[in-house]
Chain A
Amino acid sequence: MSDYRVLAGPEAFLPPSAAVMGIILPDPGEAHIEGTIVPEEEAYEHCAKKILEAKVPTIFPGPLVLWKWNDHVAEKAQAIKELADEAPMRLIPMADYRPKYPKIEYEVEINPNHPNLTIWHNKIDACIFVGVHCHQANLALKIIRGGTNCYTMAMCAQAGHEDACLSFRDASAEKIKKLTAAVKKLKSQGVKSQAVSFTQFKMDRNGLVVSDAVVEEYENAR
Chain B
Amino acid sequence: MNKPVGTQKRIIASKHVKLGQKNAKGQTYTDINDIFYNTEQKPVFFTGSEVIKEAIRRASVGTSVAYPITPQSEAAALIGELYAEGYLDEYFRGESEFAVMGQCAGAAFGGHRVFTTTAGPGTLRAMENFPMWAGSRLPIQVCVTCRGINSPLSIQPDTLEIHYLLETGMLVWHAETAQDLFDYILKGFIVAEQPDVHVPIAVCCDGFFVTHTKDTVELPSEDLCLTPYDPYKSPVTVMDMESAPIRMMRDPFVMKSNYISYATHASWQQEVQSAVERSRKHTIPMLDGLIDEINTDREVLVVASGTAVSQSREAIRLLEQEGIKVGLVKIKTIRPFPKEEIRQATKNAKHIFVPEFNIAGWLAREVKAILPDNERVYAGPHVAGGMTMPSEVIAEEIKVHLGIKPSPNRRRP
Chain B residues within an 8 Å CB radius of A24: 1-3, 5, 278, 280-281
B184 → A minimal CB distance (Å): 22
Interface residues on B, range: 35 or more
Look across to chain B and name the residue whose beta carbon is closest to the beta carbon of A169. Answer: B196
Q: Is the CB of A133 within 8 A of B270?
A: no
Look across to chain A and name the residue whose beta carbon is closest to the beta carbon of B264. Answer: A113
Q: Is the CB of A16 within 8 A of B195?
A: no
Chain A residues within an 8 Å CB radius of B235: 133-135, 138, 158
Within 8 Å of chain A (Cβ to Cβ): is B267?
yes
| A28-36, A181-189, A197-205 - the one binding chain B | A28-36
From A112, A134, A142, A162, B195 is in contact (CB under 8 Å) with A134
A220 → B minimal CB distance (Å): 25
Query: Interface size on A (CB < 8 Å)?
Result: 44
Q: Mark B240-281, 1 if CB is under 8 A from A, else 0.
A: 101110010001010010001101101110110111011011
Within 8 Å of chain B (Cβ to Cβ): is A10?
no
Among the interface residues B243, B247, B275, B281, which one has the most CB atoms of the partner chain A within 10 A?
Answer: B243
Chain B residues within an 8 Å CB radius of A114: 260-261, 264
Chain A residues within an 8 Å CB radius of B253: 99, 101, 113
Docked Cα-Cα span, A25 to B271, in Å, equals 14
Look across to chain A and name the residue whose beta carbon is closest to the beta carbon of B240. Answer: A97
Chain B residues within an 8 Å CB radius of A143: 260, 263-264, 267
Residues of B77-124 whose CB lies within 8 A of A: none
Q: Is the CB of A134 within 8 A of B242?
A: no
Look across to chain A and name the residue whose beta carbon is closest to the beta carbon of B258. Answer: A114
Docked Cα-Cα span, A143 to B234, in Å, equals 21
Chain B residues within an 8 Å CB radius of A96: 240, 242-243
B342 → A minimal CB distance (Å): 16
Chain B residues within an 8 Å CB radius of A2: 1-2
A129 → B minimal CB distance (Å): 13
Chain A residues within an 8 Å CB radius of B1: 1-2, 22-24
A73 → B minimal CB distance (Å): 12
Binding site for B on A (CB under 8 A): 1-2, 4, 14, 16-20, 22-25, 27-28, 32, 35-37, 63, 96-99, 101, 112-114, 116-117, 133-136, 138-139, 142-143, 146, 158-160, 162-163
Binding site for A on B (CB under 8 A): 1-3, 5, 12, 137, 194-196, 198, 233-237, 240, 242-244, 247, 251, 253, 256, 260-261, 263-264, 266-268, 270-271, 273-275, 277-278, 280-281
